[in-house]
Structure 1
Amino acid sequence: MDLYIFCRMVLQQKALILLVTVVVAALASAYAFLVRPEYQVSSVLRPAAINELDALNRSEIYQLPSGDALIKVGASLESYETRLGFFRANQKLFKNFERPGRTLEQSFEEFNYNSIKLVVPDAKNAGSLNAYIKLVMNYPEGVAGVAILNGFVQYAIESQRQQIAADMEVIVRNRLSELAGRLDSARSSYVTDKAAKIAKLTEEDNLKRAQLQDELKALRAQLKNQRADQIAQLNEAIGIAKSLGIQKPSTPSSLGGAGVQGSQPVMRTEVNNQQIPLYFMGVDALLAERAALLQRKSDDFTEARIAQIAKELQLLQANREVEVLNQRKNEDLFLSGVQPLRAEEVRLRNLNVDMSGLKLVTIDKKAIDPLGPVKPKKMLLIIIGIVFGLMLGLVAAFVRGTDQSRRENSSDTTLLPHSSIPAKKALLSNVEAL
């Protein structure tokens, strides 16, 4: 019975319901067609091919796998500094984000917070097939969203490329400085070793020269003493020879047979294993020998070792090895163990650190002009407006119908007699129940 009364109220108030529905639907339609449309574009980045980063990785200076390169570019895309730099470098593209009374940074904050979102795959499902970075941008009508997004992607890649180039330059410069330090250390060590070697050779020559001179002095003193001893022996022998009357050289046997008489010839044979005394040489020979010894000014010729010492002293006057060491002009040629350092230095100096052609990531999908706005969804808004208007109209119809019923019941009770008060209360209770 209540449902019947409600349906009767709806039929009675259908004009009101239709009016409310039309008004609300019109308002929703006006909002859908008058609100500023919002568009959405996206760009997808994936890891670069292995051969794109091969030259960089083979440099043995900077190792950058393709997955790490994608992460670096993603960090650059997410970086506040990179976004602000792109915003400042391309202010013409962001005219629609500027508002009176706002600074450049405030306008950028609105763009950065509401417009660009970075989407990455779930870490649980991360893999070579799912490695990507998606950049989504929402922008109002009148904004060059495609140009902004594609330009921002290129700006972030270029920024990261320049960062890698700067890192490589610093690494190369540091390694060249390290190599130069090691070469300087090798040169210093070589100079020290060379000076030590020259000092050692000079010291050895001085020591040997002093030893030879001492030996020469000792030999000459020895020869002089031997000559003096020999002169003394000759003086003694001369005295003996004079006392024996040996004027000419003789032998002990001939001296013994001087007193034998007879005319027959005699042949004497002498066998003696002892040295014949010096006085048997005769006075004449001994005097001649003593005179020669007294006139001798140097005894050097009597000792072969003295000539050998003179030869060695002559050789020690100049050390040819020391002269060669001092005459070296390009001493870097004689450094030991520096060939790998020089080869590495040449390689680093000839290394191409130009990263302008380096492909860090692959742009799998560039931003293109969207087919339509993502906001507002006009048909959905109109449908929602109709449904909401219909519901609001039903509520208004029910409220109006209930109010009218109460008024009618109140007017009916005023016309009944006093005796029918119980009936009047019963009627009011029925109305209230309705």
Structure 2
Amino acid sequence: MNRTSPLPPSVASDEIDLIELFHAIWRQKKLIVGCTLLAGVLGAGYAFLAPKTYEVSSVLRPAAINELDALNRSEVYKLPPADALVKVGAQLDSYEARLGFFKDHEELFQTFKKPGQSLEQSFEEFNRNSVNLILPDPKKSDSLSSYIRLELQYPTDVDGVAILNGFVDYAIAAERQQVGADLKVIVNNRLSELKGKIDAARANYDTEKESKIAKLLEADRLKRAQLQDELSALRLQMKMERTNRLAELAEAITIAKSMGIRTPTTPSSMADATRNGSSQVMRTEVNNQKIPLYFMGTEALEAERSALQQRTSDDFTNTRIAEIGKELQLLESNREVEVLQKRGNEDIFLQDVEPLRAEVARLRSLNIDMSNLKLVTIDRRAQEPVAPIKPKKPLVIGLSLVGGLLLGMMIALIRYFIRSRGQALPYTALGDSSVPRREGKNDPL
């Protein structure tokens, strides 16, 4: 009966002997060095042969206050330096602005054009991979002032400096043009608004003037009608008084004839005439009783009646008739209405429009030179880079050497574990009492 030989302690134990592992790796140092050198050569080849990528940047900062003073003092368009920087930044980040610059300067982007791609597709690749807009972190308070940095990455055969500086100038000019257009629209809208207010004041003045003239003429017509009515009433009254007077005279004449009174007399004189006495008497009679009309005698009464019958107008007998005639004559023409109708330049009579006219004159005299308007300060323009940013040769070579070293060690470990497993398998076979040969100096590992 065969007996199984006990396994060596190194085989029976599943634990890894670190010292033996280190010696096994050390014995394969040529393999590791070879892998490291091969990876280093490949990395160096890539570092020296890979296409180079360069990077340029430009920094924009807010303009000085005096640069925008003329625009802000216009009281029409307010643009603080910080807002101007934000506007320019929005223009730099605008897809439309970038595409416009791309179309206007196609000679600078020949490298980005590929066969079979449209202009927009070529621009999209350039815009997505090459241009980067950087703003200050709002969480950091160590920034001395606001800024905008624009970065451009480009290959060797592209003039990145001209592209970046040209695009910055293009964006600033586009925003300056936009500000000028906005200012013009605002001024025109303000002028239209002021013109509307002045036209409204003029229309209001015309309405008030016509209303005033109508009221004056209406008052004159009313006054004239009232005076005409009063005149007619007075004439009718005087006519009736004359008729009544004629009736009274006729009655008095009849009485006077029956009493034989031809000349004016008094009751006392008639009483004395019946007495016999001297007629050389002057008598003064005072009483508060009205003497009847027939005592005037037939001669005077008939003379008065004849005059009244021959009268054609009674106007002279009442002073009010003359006053009415005077007032009617004055109402024939209203001088205030004539003056209102003969006004030449009626704008000078408009109320509360002087400030509006002054504002119109000020807006029309605005002369802001938009071509010299400095929206931002270019703190740093793009300059020719000293070295490419990609590939980074020391980093690539270093990573290649480290990668080769790790690869070589991994291969050495794999070989060691495969060899160790292969040597351990014979000891597990039943009935094998042979003793394994220990590894010596001539071991391939």
The answer (yes or no) to whether the contact 2:25–2:409 under 8 Å persists in 1 is: no
Secondary structure of 1:42's aligned partner: strand
Write out aligned runs for 1:125-164 (5 A).
Answer: 125=140, 129-164=144-179
Corresponding position of 1:258: 273
Of 409, 419, 422, 2:433 maps to 422
The answer (yes or no) to whether the contact 2:136–2:143 under 8 Å persists in 1 is: no
Once the two structures are overlaid, the 10-residue window that deviates more, 320-329 or 220-229, is 320-329
Matched positions, count: 419
- Equivalent-residue separation in structure 2 for 1:379 and 1:427 (angstroms): 45
Corresponding position of 1:331: 346
2:45 is the alignment partner of 1:34? no
Structure 1: which 5+ runs fail to align? 414-419
Cα-to-partner distance string for 1:344-397 (whole Å, 9 max, x where unaligned): 222222223552222222212211111211111112222333333344445556
Of 186, 194, 211, 2:226 maps to 211
The answer (yes or no) to whether the contact 1:119–1:135 under 8 Å persists in 2 is: yes
Of 121, 126, 147, 1:111 maps to 126
Corresponding position of 1:417: none
Write out aligned runs for 1:84-103 (5 A).
Answer: 84-103=99-118
2:24 is the alignment partner of 1:6? yes
C-alpha distance 318-4 of structure 1, shift in aligned 2 (>3 A): closer
The answer (yes or no) to whether the contact 1:9–1:401 under 8 Å persists in 2 is: no
- Equivalent-residue separation in structure 2 for 1:348 and 1:388 (angstroms): 73
Corresponding position of 2:390: 375
Write out aligned runs for 1:17-56 (5 A).
Answer: 17-56=32-71
C-alpha distance 210-4 of structure 1, shift in aligned 2 (>3 A): closer
Corresponding position of 1:314: 329
- Equivalent-residue separation in structure 1 for 2:144 and 2:406 (angstroms): 50
Corresponding position of 1:177: 192
Structure 2: which 5+ runs fail to align? 1-18
Secondary structure of 1:282's aligned partner: helix
Report the AA paired with residue 386 of structure 2.
L
The answer (yes or no) to whether the contact 1:41–1:138 under 8 Å persists in 2 is: yes
Report the AA paired with residue 167 of structure 1.
D
C-alpha distance 238-7 of structure 1, shift in aligned 2 (>3 A): closer
Q: CA RMSD in A?
A: 3.0
C-alpha distance 404-207 of structure 1, shift in aligned 2 (>3 A): closer
2:304 is the alignment partner of 1:293? no
- Equivalent-residue separation in structure 2 for 1:128 and 1:199 (angstroms): 74
- Following superposition, the deviation at residue 173 of structure 1 comes to 2.1
Of 370, 375, 378, 1:355 maps to 370
TM-score, normalization: structure 2?
0.85
The answer (yes or no) to whether the contact 2:61–2:379 under 8 Å persists in 1 is: yes
Report the AA paired with residue 106 of structure 2.
Q
Secondary structure of 1:154's aligned partner: helix
The answer (yes or no) to whether the contact 2:55–2:385 under 8 Å persists in 1 is: yes
The answer (yes or no) to whether the contact 2:70–2:368 under 8 Å persists in 1 is: no
- Following superposition, the deviation at residue 17 of structure 1 comes to 4.5
- Following superposition, the deviation at residue 332 of structure 1 comes to 2.5
Cα-to-partner distance string for 1:157-211 (whole Å, 9 max, x where unaligned): 2212222222222222222222222333223322222222222222211111111
Secondary structure of 2:41's aligned partner: helix
Corresponding position of 1:416: none
Secondary structure of 1:123's aligned partner: coil
- Equivalent-residue separation in structure 1 for 2:232 and 2:312 (angstroms): 15
- Following superposition, the deviation at residue 334 of structure 1 comes to 2.5
- Following superposition, the deviation at residue 59 of structure 1 comes to 2.1
Report the AA paired with residue 321 of structure 1.
E
Of 363, 373, 379, 1:364 maps to 379
Secondary structure of 2:371's aligned partner: coil
- Following superposition, the deviation at residue 8 of structure 1 comes to 5.4
Cα-to-partner distance string for 1:96-127 (whole Å, 9 max, x where unaligned): 11112111111111111111111111222369
Corresponding position of 2:87: 72
C-alpha distance 295-359 of structure 1, shift in aligned 2 (>3 A): same
- Equivalent-residue separation in structure 2 for 1:262 and 1:179 (angstroms): 107
Corresponding position of 2:14: none
Secondary structure of 1:359's aligned partner: coil
Cα-to-partner distance string for 1:194-240 (whole Å, 9 max, x where unaligned): 22222222221111111111111111111111111112222222222
Percentage of matched positions with identical amino acids: 59
- Equivalent-residue separation in structure 2 for 1:112 and 1:79 (angstroms): 11
The answer (yes or no) to whether the contact 1:9–1:397 under 8 Å persists in 2 is: no
The answer (yes or no) to whether the contact 1:45–1:362 under 8 Å persists in 2 is: yes
